[in-house]
Structure 1
Amino acid sequence: MKPGSEAPGAPSAWSSGLFDCFDDCGLCCLTCWCPCITFGKVSEIVDRGSTSCGTGGALYSLLACFTGCHWIYSCTYRSKMRAQYALPDAPCCDCCVHYCCEPCALVQEYKELKARGYDPDIGWQLNVERGNGGAGTGGVNPPGMQEMGR
C-alpha cells in the first residue's frame, strides 16, 4: 500500500515516539526556537491547503505572544491529524501533550506527515502536484483541484 493512502479508520500507530524528536537536530532546534514555523508546515498539510503555512504560523505566534495559550490552537491540529489517520490518543490527551511537551508534539506530527509520504517543507500544493503521500486521497487530487478531462 502506498504511503499516505491508508484506509480511513484503519487502526495505526504513530511512526515515532513523542520523545524521538532529538534524532533530527535541525528540526528539533528549529521547533524549539521557532515553533511557529513547524506548526505552520504541519497545519498546511493537515488542513490540505486551506490554511497556508504563513497563516497557521502567524496565528500560532499571535496566540503565543498575546495569550500564551498557543498550545490550545496546536492541540486542535493534533486532534485533526489523529482523526485523519486513526492515530491513538497517546501518551495522553492531545491538550496535555501540547501543554507539557509542545516542541516534541510538533516534531512528532511533522515526522508523522513525512512518514506518510508528505514533505511539509514544500507545502500542500507541491505535495499534490508531485503525488507525495497520494496527497492523502489515495493518489487522487482533492476535490476542486482535479484536472478537467475531455
Structure 2
Amino acid sequence: MAPSPVTSQPQFGVASIARNSWQTGTFDCCSDCKVCACGTFGFCCLGCKVAKDMGECCCCGTSVAMRTLYRSRYRIPGTLLCDCCTAVCCAPCSLCQLKRDINIRKEMGIF
C-alpha cells in the first residue's frame, strides 16, 4: 500500500493562539514606551484614540464596556468581573494594554 500524498503544509500554531489572547500583559507598559507615556500623562487622549480605533464614541474609550467589547470581538478569554477589576483598579495599565493590543493586531493584519 502506497503512502498518501501530502496535500497541505503543516502550520505553526502560534498565530491562532495569538488571535485569541492578549498580545501583552496588563503591566507590560515598558514594551511600548510611547503608549505608556500617553496613558500616564494623557489618559483621556489615549482613551479617545482607542475609541476611534474601535469606531466608538470618544467618551467610551476608557470604559469597562470598551475592554469587554474588545475582548469579546477577539475571543480573548476572561470575564466581565475581571474586565471591571482591571479597568477600575488599574485604569492606565488597562487602557495601555488595550492600545498596545490594537497596535499589534494592526501590524499582524487582524484588526
Structure 1 alignment gaps of length 5 or more: 1-5, 61-69, 119-131, 137-150
The answer on 1:83 being equivalent to 2:91 is: no
Structure 2 alignment gaps of length 5 or more: 1-15
Corresponding residue for 2:45?
37
Aligned positions of 1:52-91 closer than 5 A: 56=58, 59=59, 74-89=63-78
* Counterparts of 1:133 and 1:35, CA distance in 2: 26
Corresponding residue for 2:86?
97
* Counterparts of 1:89 and 1:35, CA distance in 2: 24
Please state how far the C-alpha of 1:25 moved relative to its aligned partner. 2.1
Structure 1 stretches of at least 4 aligned residues deviating more than 3 Å after TM superposition: none
Higher-Rg member (1/2): 2
* Counterparts of 1:25 and 1:115, CA distance in 2: 14
What letter matches 1:133 in structure 2?
A: G
> Is the Cα contact below 8 Å between 2:86 and 2:94 reproduced in 1?
yes
Q: CA RMSD in A?
A: 2.6
When normalised by structure 1's length, the TM-score is 0.53
Please state how far the C-alpha of 1:113 moved relative to its aligned partner. 0.7
